[in-house]
Amino acid sequence: MHRVEFLSLVKNYKVVFLDSYGVLKNHKGLIDGVPETIEHLRSRGTIVKILTNDASRSRQQQVDLFNSLGLNGLTTEHIITSGTLARLFLQDKRIKGKIGYLGTENAADYILHIDRDSVPISAIDLEDCDDIAAFVFLDDEGFDWNIDINKTINLLRMKNIPVVVANSDKLYPVSPRDVAVGTGGIAKLVENILNRKFIHFGKPDSQMFMFAYNQLLSTQDFSKHEILMVGDTLHTDILGGNKFGLDTALVLTGNTIESSVESLVTATGIIPDYICQSITQ
């Protein structure tokens, strides 16, 4: 675990995988200096992929959002979201029937409407739900928590169907002071009540790393030594990167802060190869 400057560290790698929230942006918008860093990497020929636990926006919507914040030049090819992976999984599974979901219509639109019908939990009739063949936790918004969480539990008590969690983050920051329960937190509540395990997508699980790595390999050969995973969260970015066999760098511009980084690393046993102040230095 070495303290280094990111801009000097990154010279040793052909590829960087970057987390989004806490690395590129925060609740106020882009972190100062990020467009310059991305431009710098581009000019050096370093390949950049953004790996984010997010299922609320399509990849194109992510690109548009980065553009509106002032980070230009990204395309959907640069972005891999946990929602993308949930979408591919559901396509692969060739589910016969409708897919119930908890979340926004927008998320349902890009994740589920491929070639089949999807139904929000609020529109499912528990007396007549034989046609529901899978269920997805898409987002923490777009439904009434007072009613729809219990309704989801009762649906899943009745029906033994594949259940997918499209973003496994338990909470996310909404301001410097406040957090909110994320999709993964709601799914965890339901798993805990039902004593069941759903299929989770998102870091630290390997699928997103594998997807990004396979994308790379489809163009040219890369060894894992040539890739640096950069993130602000030990339990997702660093644990996942370590497990996939990548070198990992923790930045201190998000969830993990200078004053507690040493004790957190010791307490969790999740050890980044490098610690950098930010990606802008």
Q: How far is the CB of 236 from a second copy (least distance, A)?
A: 12
* C-alpha neighbours within 13 Å on the C-beta side of residue 224: 10
| Least separation in angstroms between CB 281 and a second copy | 25
Measured CA to CA, the distance from residue 2 to residue 34 in angstroms comes to 22
H-type alpha helices, the chain: 6-9, 34-44, 59-69, 82-92, 105-112, 145-158, 183-194, 207-217, 239-244, 258-268
Nearer to a second copy, 71 or 250 (CB): 250
Q: Which is nearer to a second copy, 69 or 271 (CB)?
A: 271
Q: Tell me whether residue 74 or residue 163 sits nearer to a second copy (CB atom).
A: 163
For residue 130, the surrounding DSSP H or E stretch is: none
Give the closest residue to 198 by CA, choosing from 246, 172, 165.
Answer: 165
Shortest distance, position 44 Cβ to a second copy, whole Å? 23
Taking Cα atoms as reference points, which of 149, 162, 181 lies closest to residue 91?
A: 162
Residue 228: CB minimum distance to a second copy, A: 13
Closer residue to a second copy in complex, CB, 40/224: 224
Residues that bind a second copy (CB under 8 A): 1, 88-89, 92-94, 126, 144-146, 149-150, 153-154, 156-158, 160-163, 170-171, 177-181, 185, 188-189, 192-199, 205-207, 210, 214, 224-225, 239, 242-245, 260, 263, 265-271
